[in-house]
Amino acid sequence: MHNPLPVAFTHRILVPLWFIMILSAVPSSGEQTDLAVSDKPEKNKQSAASNQVISFLAASSTTEVMREICTQFELQTGHRVELTLGGSSSLARQILSGAEADLFLSANERWVDTIAQQPNRRGLSRIENRSNLLQNRLVVVLPTTASHKVSTLQDLLDDQIQNLALANPSVPAGIYAREVLKATGLLESLEPKIISGDNVRTTLAYVETASAQAGIVYATDTYIRPETLKTALNIPRHLHSPINYPLVLLRHGRHHPGAIELFKYLQSPGAAAIYQKHHFLINTAPQDISQALPPTDPVPSYESNSWFSSKEWAAVNRSCLVGFCVVLLSLPGGIFLGYILARIPFRAKSLVEVLVNLPLVLPPVVTGYILLLTFNSEAPVGQLLRTWFGIKIAFAWPGLVLSAAVMSFPLMVRAIRLGFQSVDPRYEIAARTLGATRTVSFFTVSLPLAKSGVIAGCVLAFARSLGEFGATVMLVSQRESLMNIPLLIYARRDEPGGLTASWGLLIVSLLLAGSALAASEYLERRGQTS
């Protein structure tokens, strides 16, 4: 029972899949450079350094000032800087989980102390150098359209203030704000009014959009959007711990040579001028180094007048690429499991079904946390993959694919399983009666007849990959070079005016999902007519 068309269909599907899987085992360009350096360190030292970027983690409250400083530094030195912004607690946890960063600027000394107290896997301190760089203060901020006034902290109890925006208690801005309310005896009374943001920028956005009638933020943040925000009250400094910004030079195995230059530049007179322009208080005397030049024009704001910039296009391309990789890498396993669950009875079948479908019922952040515990550089599995195969999962490109694949795989398996269940098993029996083996009958009869389920599974996996956020943000975090569409929209949400800038991404997401569904319907109709 030989049919050339099903065989051709099978070859067109499976042969490219296995070829792509082999290619996917090859490390990315950055990993290739690292391996080359390890083989011939002296010969390739200069070329490897030029291809690397300086990884700089900074508190979100320093967004504008650090973007401007990093841009000036890149123009003056030629080094590339990858600036990752977020809550100090989140960034510190990344470092403790094995994320390789060159510098870390925290808004809280406690997290830096925690990093210093926990040595790396080689027993060495994670911090090579440290400097208390900046200071800040707290203020009560209101929308410019607000009719109510806040002259004292007691005024926050006014009925006109229904919501009070604070950062989460796990991040420095939230810690300092709660210290103030606790010191004044207002915390318990104001607790029902408090809405928490992931970081100080989210808190600021709540006030800007009038979701909260008041908020407690850093003084420097109120200068970002003076047209929508106004400072109502300067909070006395004795009510909270000193708001210091310690800068640390981190130690890891592949130290970028430009990291020391950036560390010094951040303490230079040129950087000091930028700090003052953004209303930060300088905590240490600046160092006089030759690379430090006066700043030029300010860096444009994160918010763009265009709906689409290079960052948006990069996120769209990255999401599509991740979706295709997920489909191609998951399809062989999805077909195998779908057929096994549909056709072959075995004792542990219920257990396999539970394990396959578990990501559907678990909260995505729980799945992501499990993946982080398993594949971070400090975990045994993560160390094994990094040491033996040169593959880094956590906080790297493979993490995007892995998190999306884990979350979308159950949907693919369920669709493919239904496709095989819709095939009359008598066709397979007839093929084996004519002398075909189980394998031959699978590729020539079962798989071609179940192609509608295979197509549906691919579309579902691709669409699910486009929307994957929870597991990805845990495993990869919000690194600029790794942001997909959901991560970039989430990052934009933390920026004043960022929700407006996300409309382009929302429209593209709808177009991509709609196109995938339309293509699925077309292929399914074509399969039914052929």
Q: What is the pLDDT of residues 80-107, one digit of tens each?
A: 999 998 888 888 888 887 777 899 999 8
C-alpha dihedral, 230 to 219 to 103 to 283, nearest 10°: 150
The answer to whether residue 320 sits within a structural domain is yes
Q: Judge if 342 and 429 occupy the same domain.
A: yes
Q: Name the phi and psi angles at 197, rounded to 5.
A: -105, 160
- Residue 230 burial by Cβ neighbours in a 10 Å radius (0-12, 13-18, 19+): middle
Quick check: 316 and 505 in contact, CB under 8 A?
yes
- Give 59-71 pLDDT, tens digit per residue: 988 988 999 999 9
Between CA 405 and CA 458 the distance in angstroms is 11
Distance of CA 516 to the CA centre of its chain: 24
Between CA 387 and CA 371 the distance in angstroms is 18
The total number of structural domains that make up the chain:
3
Q: Judge if 379 and 392 occupy the same domain.
A: yes
Q: Judge if 269 and 339 occupy the same domain.
A: no
Geometric angle at alpha carbon 457, from 455 and 460, rounded to 5°: 110
Quick check: 473 and 487 in contact, CB under 8 A?
yes
Q: Judge if 213 and 264 occupy the same domain.
A: no
Q: Is the pLDDT of residue 526 over 80?
A: no
Q: Judge if 191 and 129 occupy the same domain.
A: no
The answer to whether residue 489 sits within a structural domain is no
pTM of the model: 0.64
The answer to whether residue 495 sits within a structural domain is no
The answer to whether residue 483 sits within a structural domain is no
Largest interatomic CA distance in the chain: 90
Q: Judge if 126 and 142 occupy the same domain.
A: no
- Residue 287 burial by Cβ neighbours in a 10 Å radius (0-12, 13-18, 19+): middle
Domain boundary among 196, 213, 234: 234
Q: Judge if 267 and 226 occupy the same domain.
A: no
Q: Is the pLDDT of residue 409 over 90?
A: yes
The two three-digit tokens of residue 436, written as one number = 């075909």
CATH number, domain with residue 76: 3.40.190.10
Mean of the per-residue pLDDT values for the chain? 79
Distances (CA, A) of 481 to 23, 94, 205, 257, 406: 22, 15, 24, 20, 21
Distances (CA, A) of 57 to 91, 177, 246, 261, 529: 7, 23, 12, 16, 56
Q: Judge if 339 and 468 occupy the same domain.
A: yes
- Give 306-351 pLDDT, tens digit per residue: 556 677 888 888 989 999 999 999 999 999 999 999 888 888 888 9
The answer to whether residue 496 sits within a structural domain is no
Range scoring the smallest mean pLDDT among 6-20, 241-255, 392-406:
6-20
Question: Residue 115's domain spans which residues?
Answer: 29-133+245-282
Distant-in-sequence, close-in-space partners of 377: CB < 8 Å, separation ≥ 6: 97, 98, 99, 100, 121, 383, 386, 392, 394
Q: Judge if 343 and 200 occupy the same domain.
A: no
Q: Judge if 129 and 142 occupy the same domain.
A: no
